Structure 1
């Protein structure tokens, strides 16, 4: 039996013995089955060596959740290389040598690209972890500046890492003279700048935002027709959570080119509207309505004394009262609640004095019809 097994293992196919093929399959199977175990072990080692002192702010589970997937891919690539290294490439396939252009060289370069890309992936996930750590630290401070600086520098560092990974691939896989290429970029730099004009404008706009501080994370702003809370300021774009709870991403260039109203810096929110009463309203009623509404707004605990209530126009179909006041809050929900409360009282005042609201002719006609 042993001799039969030995004879079977010595059988050759495509210049490889069955033993070589079995070792190859065994390594590939082990890589597929144990890549998760290996990745978790590597993440444990990385956590204990690199980031253990940060464990008070970020847990080990969060670290593993970020690193397990890219480490799985990296470990499988290592098993993949070891497995194929056990095989002998037969001459009858006509594969050229490693230093000659051919299928073997192409496959090696593809493997090199995947290997360097997976390492870059791991580094970027580490950056995500440190970004998470520093974001939690920044959330504990009173300043909002660090809340927006952390994601900005994390994204900026990721771009640098990707660029470095790209140059490493050019140098190690394609044997390009990277130093000469970087020096030669001065010639094509102008064309590259024009090609990346929009990205460069957004990058410069992000630096303008950080230097001038027109807004910070958490501010309620209005940019054009969009009103919402700043959630993240990146190196290319700014993300805003609108009042309707939708998520809008605006290029940083738009944030500094368009008129921007930082509503958070307001101490009050303005309310202005008109009340139209019928021509049956007497002058005494108009005067009493205006005076009582003015007194109510002046003495309301959430308004200031700059409010104005004036009988300012005899319109074509109504006597118009203009009401203008400020509410001392910047919170949208609270603002709407106080405004509603004041509106109810205005309606009650008008009803108490026997006045009635006027309707535009087209609305009045539709109501009658």
Structure 2
């Protein structure tokens, strides 16, 4: 048997030559898909390089190569099996085709739509990464404020892409009249709106947050008894990182309905406490301690000098209370704690230098007068046993 005769032998409705061409296309496509994906990713990066400062090609490759490989593999399947009479050519599908051919073709269509949507979603991630990197390298206040809007916009656009892909799938794969379907949604729109009332309220609240800007990512806020640093303003909720390092999710509606205290916008932080000295500490010692401590606080760069107040607040049974209050201008909570620690150590040094002593908690117990056994109790007239 000659080679042409062998190639023309038919098997399962196709010639051996058709099977060989199909196999070669599959091998080439499967073997070169990663290389072609990297090439396409590099072309896209070069075309957009002047707009992508701060983002490397490796970061783009990490996002695009996998979905592009899937798209190229599906395209290879189309070319390979289009050589054969099975499953079925796109232009030949009809009512008389076997159901298994229709199922295979529908699944292939769904795979193509899903893969293309995947590529678009990764491009959205790349755009968000570019804008975030650009915001990191700028000191423009508006740019830094707008940077917090990008994660929200990314999620919003992704939802739109997924909805569009779903509608395309309904129209192309299942032959649904999408226009009539969208028009029919108006009838049930009211019921859907009531069912998704809270979600819609949170969505509207998120737009209010971005327009009014009561806080931004990185701010320390207190809302509804919860204090934490804003890490993300999402599509439905805002994420806070508390001082205990827990991750709290607060609905956006609560962020605008409840009183919100933006602690990061404070001009200064207040420190207030009371030093309780014993009665053995003299007036001269108290004056010396207060004067030296007041002078020390006013000399510190982070302390507001005109806000330093040290007063003899009260004379109690246990001692003499010296009230201390000052305000500090620091950027972070750690700096605030460091300054308080330095001041506290300085207070101990000043108190020890002037030989003053702090009061100690004592318990005073009043005993009834002693009376000999058998004597009458003055309160009740009963003998003391």
Q: Which residue does 1:44 correspond to in 2?
A: 42
Match of 2:19 among 18, 21, 25: 21
Q: Distance in 2 between matches of 1:351 and 1:296?
A: 15
C-alpha contact (below 8 Å) 1:221/1:260 kept by paired residues = yes
Q: Which residue of 2 aligns with 1:217?
A: 217
Q: Given that residues 309 and 324 in structure 2 are in contact (C-alpha distance below 8 angstroms), is that contact kept between their aligned partners in structure 1? A: yes
CA distance in 2, matches of 1:103, 1:193: 40
| CA deviations over 1:133-168 (Å, ceiling 9, x no partner) | 333334425123222233332332222222111111
TM-score scaled by length of structure 2: 0.80
Moved more, 280-289 or 214-223: 280-289
- How far apart are the structure 2 equivalents of 1:314 and 1:225? 37
Give the match for residue 342 of structure 1.
343
1:348 Cα deviation after fit? 1.5
Does structure 1 residue 82 correspond to structure 2 residue 79? Answer: yes
Cα deviation digits, residues 324-344 of structure 1 (max 9, x gap): 211122322222221111111
SS in 2 for 1:281: coil
Q: In the superposition, relative to structure 1, how do residues 268 and 321 fare at CA in structure 2: closer, same or farther (>3 Å)?
A: same
Q: Is residue 281 of structure 2 the alignment partner of residue 281 of structure 1? A: yes
Give the aligned partner of residue 307 of structure 1: 308
Q: Which residue of 2 aligns with 1:93?
A: none
Structure 1 residue matching 2:326: 3-state secondary structure:
strand
Assess if the C-alpha contact under 8 Å between 1:306 and 1:326 holds in 2: yes
Alignment deviations for residues 252-301 of structure 1 (CA, whole Å, 9 cap, x no partner): 23332343222221111111223333344344444443343334334433
Give the root-mean-square deviation of aligned CA atoms: 3.1
TM-score (norm 1): 0.83
Q: Is the 8 A contact 1:205 1:252 kept in 2?
A: yes
| 2:103 counterpart of 1:103 | no
> Offset of 1:40 from its aligned partner?
1.9
Match of 2:327, SS state, is strand
SS state at 1:216 partner: coil
Instruction: Look at both structures and tell me which one has the larger radius of gyration over its CA atoms.
Output: 2
CA, structure 1 residues 288+192, in 2 after alignment: closer, same or farther (shift >3 Å)? same
Separation (CA, whole Å) in 2 of partners of 1:249 and 1:19: 62
Q: Which runs of 5+ in 1 are unaligned?
A: 91-95, 363-369
Contact 2:53–2:134 (8 Å) recurs in 1: no
C-alpha deviation, 1:360, in angstroms: 4.7
CA-to-aligned-CA distance 1:198-225 (integer Å, 9 cap, x gap) = 3322211111111211112343333433
Partner residue of 2:272? 272
